[in-house]
Amino acid sequence: MSQKLFGTDGVRGTANSEPITAESALKLAQAAARVLVRDHSSTKVVVGRDTRASGEMLESAIAAGLASSGIEVLLAGVIPTPAVAYLTVKNAAAFGVVISASHNPFEDNGIKFFGPTGYKLGDDDERAIESEFDHPQSGKRPIGKGVGRIRQFREATEAYAEFAASTLPETVSLAGVRIALDMANGAAFRTTPTVLANLGAEVDLHYAAPDGFNINVDCGSTCPATLSRIVRQSGAAFGLAHDGDADRVLLCDEHSSALDGDELLAVASLDLIQRNQLHKKTLVATVMSNFGLDDLLHKHGGSVVRTPVGDRFVMDALVQLQLNLGGEQSGHVIFRDFVTTGDGLIAALQIICVVLRTGKSLSELRQVLHKYPQVLRNIVVREKVPFENIGVLNSKIQEAESLLKGKGRLVLRYSGTEPKARLLLEGPDSSELQQLASSIAEEFAKYVGP
């Protein structure tokens, strides 16, 4: 059975259009309860959301669906996605639910689940939920005292903030360090500033006034130019930005130059290698990450394992291979010694710890990664037609791959969360990459462009 509801990161869509409607959210919550609670002793579920206005509607529907299934619902309110993963485990809940569309526009929303161990659900669980959603196996619902209760989980934010701070050595202090923050008007608008301020940092806070509609609007980790501007104006030691649900992080050095996820992985992996703490001297990255990472790890006796795009695939590899560091170029950086999913705040804290431990600035630390030139094109599409069915696209791709053979690579894939195709070319000659990218993108747009 093919998965129709679940994409690469839960269920996504335009809020108040199927499948992201109140009716479907309630039904999905009931299906998840039937599948995920049947083999679990707990009947508690943690629910969190980002700052989108539609999250209020979906939160109510999901809470109602869970309560009608006999679940004790803990509403954590606006809180980062990774906080729900942590709180699910801490409170011995059967599962966790996050209402968020991450870096997408406010019009979108999504629903994703964490299992009792804090990891995202596997394909088998998602297929089982989807099957139950389409064809419910039991219509019997609890009555009387069996109906679930819904309560506000008021201590959720404080509990997560304390946990995040605890991932740093007690000796670490940010006293006197000025940090510019761009919170994307999203889920971390309280947690990240609170943690950094409690550690002694001088916080210069921006985009931390969510109104339900301004999440990710010209701000956050997908808008590095905004963070660069803030750092220039602030004179901060560095800048930090999250996406809407704060499972990503973008850092900016003291010269207002942004570091992407690959550079953060380079800094973190080299630090762990030098302290003999990178498990098997192996880093997990996706097919989109720069091959300069491979050169760096090989130089220091290590290696890189590649996965498909998506932090879930990175985490799967980390678990299966018993590794402790992985991530994506987009800013998902997973320090598995502390977390079970991408966590933008904890990733930032670990990089900050490297800065403090070494006494080096971010501009110095980032020099360890020598990147291959890359060209990335995001092509808006009206439908996701199989690539092999699109005109002479294949011949264009084969021509490019032939030119890059032995010195670069080409990756073309559809986004799992947006109506876009993503084209990546990497090689030694940036002008050649630009020409190849334009040729392929133009051909692609002829057939499936908007």
DSSP 170-206: TT---TT-EEEEE-TTSTTTTHHHHHHHHTT-EEEEE
Q: Which residues pair with 182 in a beta bridge?
A: 206, 241
pLDDT at 291: 85
Q: Cα(48)–Cα(26) distance, rounded to whole angstroms?
A: 15
pLDDT at 7: 85
Active site residue 102: yes
Residues in the chain predicted with pLDDT less than 50, given as ranges, are 1-2
Q: Cα(344)–Cα(97) distance, rounded to whole angstroms?
A: 18
Give the residue carrying structure tokens 């380079």: 266
Give the active site residue among 102, 221, 234, 269. 102
pLDDT at 1: 38
Q: Which residues are CB-neighbours of 439 under 8 A, at least 6 positions away?
A: 396, 400
pLDDT at 39: 64
Residues present in the chain in total: 450
Give the residue carrying structure tokens 């800048």: 239
pTM of the model: 0.87
Domains of the chain: 11-155 (3.40.120.10), 176-258 (3.40.120.10), 260-368 (3.40.120.10), 374-448 (3.30.310.50)
DSSP state of 371: P
Strands, E assignment, 226-365:
238-241, 250-252, 258-259, 282-286, 303-307, 325-327, 333-335
pLDDT at 3: 53
